[in-house]
């Protein structure tokens, strides 16, 4: 079963009322919650991280800033905020030593451009980059923008990146249906993120955010049981 990471984000930025949403998720069965560096300055990152920890979640910060300077500043802010995971970013080699021991770092493989982010490159190129990145001592896994690729076979891309990576692969971006959730799980990803689709009310249980989160949790559990996985 893939792990569900609910992102307090819409359009690749943290939503304004993120702090109001967190308590609504306390009894959904969710384990992981996240937000982006865009839309959350250092003080807000600390506030959201403390709130999420107090509610019982592991916290992921996804870095989607497009400049090297802003990306490395976001890593330093994430360290100060006390998050458990840092996802994203395209300058993994420069990130060594910026995060405390115990914080899992999962950068983007492949060529990622623009904001909202788009993934470019062939499947072999992206998978090769995934293999290179996960060989770095300070890299724990990957944040794969599979469904942000304009032309690749998305499930084949996920399978190949999972095959060639030596750490967990989290599929992020444009997952807006239960079918896509199950496809990600079937392709072997450790986890996946959903944010905008839930705030847009696109999943079963809408318009309630908490009910949509519960439906995604139930679907992943049922899918794993159907395939004989846990």
Beta carbons of 197 and 165 less than 8 angstroms apart: no
Q: Strands 169-171 and 191-194: what pairing?
A: parallel
68-113 pLDDT, tens digit each: 999 999 999 999 999 999 999 999 999 999 999 999 999 999 999 8
Q: Which pLDDT does position 230 carry in this prediction?
A: 47
- Domains of the chain, by residue range, sit at 3-225
Q: State how far the Cα of 216 lies from the Cα of 5, in Å rounded to an integer.
A: 10
Q: Specify the CATH number of the domain 3-225.
A: 3.20.20.70
125 token code pair: 């190129």
18 token code pair: 């993120």
Residue 146 has pLDDT above 60, yes or no: yes
28-58 pLDDT, tens digit each: 999 999 999 999 999 999 999 999 999 999 9
Tell which residue, 64, 63, 67, has the closest CA to residue 75: 63
206-222 pLDDT, tens digit each: 999 999 999 999 998 87
Tell which residue, 113, 72, 61, has the closest CA to residue 96: 72
Percentage of the chain modeled with pLDDT above 90:
90
Q: Say which residue, 114 or 132, is predicted with more confidence.
A: 132
The torsion of the CA quartet 78, 160, 202, 230, rounded to 10 degrees, works out to -90
Q: State how far the Cα of 131 lies from the Cα of 65, in Å rounded to an integer.
A: 23
């Amino acid at each position: 079963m893939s792990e569900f990471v609910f992102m307090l984000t819409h359009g690749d930025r943290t939503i304004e009322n993120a702090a109001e949403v967190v308590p609504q998720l306390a009894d959904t069965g969710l384990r992981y919650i996240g937000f982006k560096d865009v839309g959350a300055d250092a003080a807000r990152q600390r506030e959201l991280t403390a709130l999420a920890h107090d509610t019982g979640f592991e916290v992921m910060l996804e870095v989607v800033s497009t400049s090297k300077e802003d990306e490395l500043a976001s890593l330093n802010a994430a360290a100060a905020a006390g998050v458990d995971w840092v996802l994203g970013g395209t300058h993994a080699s420069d990130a060594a030593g910026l995060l405390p021991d115990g914080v899992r770092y999962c950068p983007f493989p492949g060529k990622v451009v623009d904001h909202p982010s788009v993934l470019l490159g062939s499947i072999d190129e992206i998978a090769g980059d995934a293999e290179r990145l996960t060989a770095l001592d300070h890299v724990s896994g990957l944040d794969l923008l599979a469904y942000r690729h304009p032309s690749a076979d998305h499930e084949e891309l996920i399978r190949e990146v999972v095959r060639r990576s030596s750490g967990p692969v989290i599929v992020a971006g444009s997952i807006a249906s239960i079918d896509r959730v199950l496809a990600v799980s079937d392709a072997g990803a450790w986890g996946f993120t959903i944010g905008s689709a839930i705030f847009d009310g696109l999943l079963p249980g809408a318009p309630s955010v908490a009910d949509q989160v519960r439906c995604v949790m139930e679907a992943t559990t049922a899918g794993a049981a159907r395939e004989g996985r846990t």
